[in-house]
Amino acid sequence: MFSDARLTNLIANTLALLAVSALVIGVVIWAVRRPYFNIERIQIESTQGEPLAYVTAEGVKATIAGRLQGNFFTVDLDQSRALIETAPWVRRAQIRRVWPNSLSVRIEEQQPLAYWNEDEMINTWGESFSANKAVVPDEMDLPQLSGPPNSERLVVQRYAELARWFGPLDVQVSEVTLSPRYAWDVVLSNGMQLSLGRDPAADIADPHGRKGALPFAVRVERFVQAWPALMQRLGDRALQSADLRYPNGFAITLAPVSSTPVK
């Protein structure tokens, strides 16, 4: 059967090649599994080139502890990136290998814009996220925004519009609430409460929306334009609330006059 020398040599060479290949593969597998290549260090830095304000190395390491799979050669970078992005205050992460047993992680932090609903925050991109509010500096006076699910961007847009309107009046927007039926309520930094009613621009998201309401900006503009004359007429009296839902004007409620006992 093996009388053909050329065939015999071919078979012998093939077997030898397979044996060498198996040996090389075995050596590679053995080397790859050496503890020398286990991930021992994770370098963390900011993508913005500035010191991280909210994300800490300890927080990231606590998130991935016991969950990072593989070594320098076998670690799944996409899976590791997704895992790191679950750490508090991390918005985006970029990850790469550093020879022979390290990972370099560049982090884009969440930039807080406001508190969102009861236990979340909202960033400057209009995205909600969960984070420890206790790390927010006391001097950072963030507003409280509230709204139905998936309304974050709309609420942030309206908050920005209100801030532009009331900024020149030296009044800040403290709270903005969008109800499940897409009606707006606002609280200013002086304690005044504003009722703005439904938002025609949100009708597409509101199955109960009513057409024909004044545009959001028109209602606010009308009140802001009347503000200087109104404050002048009221003198020392303060406004408690204003209802801007009327088609041809608005209604105001004055704050109670504090009575000082006469001694």
Other Cβ atoms within 10 Å of 210 Cβ, number: 12
Query: Nearest Cα to 159, choosing from 208, 135, 124?
Result: 124
Q: What is the dihedral of CA 80, 83, 85, 88, to 10 degrees?
A: -140
Q: Give every CB contact of residue 44 below 8 A, 6+ residues apart in sequence.
A: 52, 55, 57, 60, 105, 107
Q: Give every CB contact of residue 45 below 8 A, 6+ residues apart in sequence.
A: 52, 104, 105, 106, 107
Measured in degrees and rounded to the nearest 5, phi and psi for residue 112 equal -70, 130
Residue range 153-162, pLDDT digits in tens: 999 999 999 9
- Cα–Cα distance measured from residue 56 to residue 185, given in angstroms and rounded to the nearest whole number: 37
Place of tokens 């800040």: 172
DSSP type of residue 205: G
Residue 230: pLDDT band (50, 70, 90) is very high
Distance of CA 65 to the CA centre of its chain: 23
Q: Are 176 and 184 in contact (CB under 8 A)?
A: yes
Q: Are 88 and 55 in contact (CB under 8 A)?
A: yes
Q: Mean pLDDT score of the chain, rounded to an integer?
A: 85
| Helical residues (DSSP H) of the chain, grouped into ranges | 5-32, 57-64, 77-84, 152-166, 216-234
What's the average model confidence in pLDDT over 40-62?
89
Task: Give 138 or 251, the one with higher predicted confidence.
Answer: 251
Q: Are 195 and 163 in contact (CB under 8 A)?
A: no
Element (H, E) at 87: none
Residue range 194-208, pLDDT digits in tens: 999 988 766 554 444
pLDDT at 196: 94
Task: Give 143 or 69, the one with higher predicted confidence.
Answer: 143
Residue range 241-261, pLDDT digits in tens: 999 999 888 999 999 876 655
The SS3 assignment for 43 reads strand
